[in-house]
Amino acid sequence: MAAVVAATLGMVFGVVLPMRAAAEPPYQHRQEFITASDGTRLHADILRPVGVADDVRTPVIMTVSPYRAHLAYLSQPRLGGGVSTKDLSVEMFLAAGYTYVIVDLRGFGGSNGCPDFGGPNERSDVKTAVEWAAGQPWSTGRVGLTGISYEAWTGIMGLAAQPAGLAAVAAFAPVVDPYSYLYMQGIAWKFSGKPVTESGVRPGDLAGLEHVLIASTPGHWADSAEYRANASNIDPGCFQRYLSETGDHDPGTAFWRERDLVEQVRGNTIPLFLGQGFVDYNTRAHRVFELWDALGPGEHKAWFGQWGHRNCFEKCGTPFFGDELLAFFDRHVAQRDVTVPGPRVTVGQFDGRWRGEQTWPPADSRPVRVAVRPGAYTDRGLVPGADREVWSFSQPLAHDQHFSGVATATLHLDGPAAATVTVELYDVAPDGRATVITRGIAPVGATANVRLLAQDWPIPAGHRIGIRITDVIDDVWAHPPTFARVTLTDGEVRLPLLETVRTPDIPGGLTEGIPKWRAEKTIPLPPELVNNATVTVDFPPRATR
């Protein structure tokens, strides 16, 4: 979500950034303003294929965004009067005969009004924009929404709002519940303002400030008077409310409840192309899978695999993504007689191999229970050490196993409610090198229920599964330590293991995320620790599909 923060900060505080020479735009460009039902004026950039007359109707691809202010991305080529098309694949869609429309959410870019962080006003903006585009004389009346991050979030908002004319949505690394984007069971995530960085130093509850700064981007000097006026119209009261509400850690407030889209899209039949990286620590592999499971019947499609905060046009290890995305929109928006290639779910495993599934987690993913050893740790959030963790290790695997799904844990603890408990799972090689598979966090309680992030990870025979229980992972969550002792009486972790170990059936290789994860998330473990903390696990027998 933070792809333009650095550029925005530079603009807000007067830093002059380098500009690249303008290029000849590969489209016809004009701007319009759309009046929403409450009077808010939404700015739209309309990009038409070169040579297509105004009276020729085309299908429409749309991105509704807080990030496309004309003064943003100054280090990028300035196309079509300042329009930023970074990461939107605009040229691919224009070449295929689509009109591409970029609409600024209220309070951002050339639109006036107050930002709403995924609330009812922003959902209304998406509905207004889609229905406006569907009703234009240059439109066939069918619109597809697409985007990454916040721009994918607006696609999910479209599914919730169900505007007339919405024919399909492609959403990659979307927010589906802004509370779980900022907090995991009340504990704030840390993440970076850099475009593709999976850990950082900024608490999640400062995301409101980030978007206030983005909303404060002034208008481009070449834009219309209305654009510049809307961009400069900063309402301090609006931003004060925005910061107060996004900084509230209570998930039960009306603000957070009405922004949870998982239930709002339950039963949705509008075709959705969904993408999520398992090692994306910006919008994480968390509630997005609940949304996927909540969809109704329809020609839905997904790509889940080992990449960070991106779609899969590059650095994902397999070349088929662009063809599948374009065919998806050709079929559902342009109504062309094409078949969307590939399986319903494309899965990138952590070993760098690829396979197809009908569902994810797969239907034969079953919870395997692992009892954890008792122990105690200190909730101090500082330097790692023996007083911060309790380890349990399985016996070496007799056969290959495949972790695929969401692990959960139930732990019985004695400690203050202000303390936290983290469960971290490891793939431990015979030489003692242990790589993080996944992790999750919860407040300490007499019974603490921890839901870990999703993953898809083959574990070879001879390896062990390690379970580390600690207070917090300091580069992942922001937690003020209590310096109290927490006693783990007993508990169990439920590992989602496939009954049938898969044979990969899609050509492909390593994604950008795998070597990075291995380098940053692998630690050496001494043999005496591993050998003295073993628990016996009843693993499923080997079967291969």
Backbone phi, psi, residue 311, to 5°: -90, -165
pLDDT of residue 464 exceeding 50: yes
Q: Domain check: are 114 and 224 in the same one? A: yes
Q: Is residue 41 part of a domain?
A: yes
Last residue of a domain, one of 342, 377, 399: 342
Query: Which pair of tokens denotes residue 207?
Result: 């995301």
Query: Closest Cα partner for 300 from 310, 288, 308, 312?
Result: 288
Q: Of all residues in the chain, what percent carry a pLDDT higher than 90? A: 73
Name the pLDDT band for 191 (thresholds 50, 70, 90): low
Q: Domain check: are 281 and 145 in the same one? A: yes
Q: Domain check: are 442 and 316 in the same one? A: no
Q: Domain check: are 97 and 56 in the same one? A: yes
Reported as half-sphere exposure (CB side, CA atoms, 13 A), residue 32 has a value of: 11
pLDDT at 206: 58
**At 385, which CATH number?**
2.60.120.260
pTM above 0.75, yes or no: yes
What distances in angstroms separate CA 369 from CA 344, 410, 447, 539, one per listed residue?
30, 10, 17, 9
Q: Domain check: are 92 and 217 in the same one? A: yes
Contact between residue 347 and residue 358 where contact means Cβ atoms under 8 Å apart: no
Q: What is the pLDDT of residues 264-305, one digit of tens each?
A: 999 999 999 999 999 999 999 999 999 999 999 999 999 999
Which H or E run contains 179? Answer: helix 178-182
Q: Is residue 476 part of a domain?
A: yes
pLDDT of residue 6 exceeding 60: no
| Unique residue bearing structure tokens 């439920």 | 494
Distance between CA 279 and CA 282 in Å, rounded? 9
Q: Domain check: are 503 and 369 in the same one? A: yes
Q: Domain check: are 391 and 328 in the same one? A: no
Q: Which range, of 113-127, 234-248, 343-357, averages the lowest pLDDT?
A: 234-248
pLDDT at 200: 40
Q: Domain check: are 116 and 79 in the same one? A: yes
Q: Is residue 540 part of a domain?
A: no
Q: Is residue 392 part of a domain?
A: yes
pLDDT at 8: 41
Q: Domain check: are 431 and 472 in the same one? A: yes
Q: Domain check: are 300 and 375 in the same one? A: no
Distance between CA 186 and CA 248 in Å, rounded? 9
Question: How many domains are contained in the chain?
Answer: 2
Domain that holds residue 448: 365-535
What distances in angstroms separate CA 266 from CA 83, 269, 295, 392, one per listed residue?
35, 9, 5, 38
**At 112, which CATH number?**
3.40.50.1820
Last residue of a domain, one of 309, 342, 375: 342
Q: Domain check: are 374 and 302 in the same one? A: no
**Is the pLDDT higher at 134 or at 313?**
134
Q: Is residue 19 part of a domain?
A: no
**176 contacts: CB under 8 Å, gap ≥ 6:** 153, 156, 260, 261, 262, 287, 288, 290, 291
How is the chain split among helix, strand and coil, in percent rounded to 5?
20, 30, 50
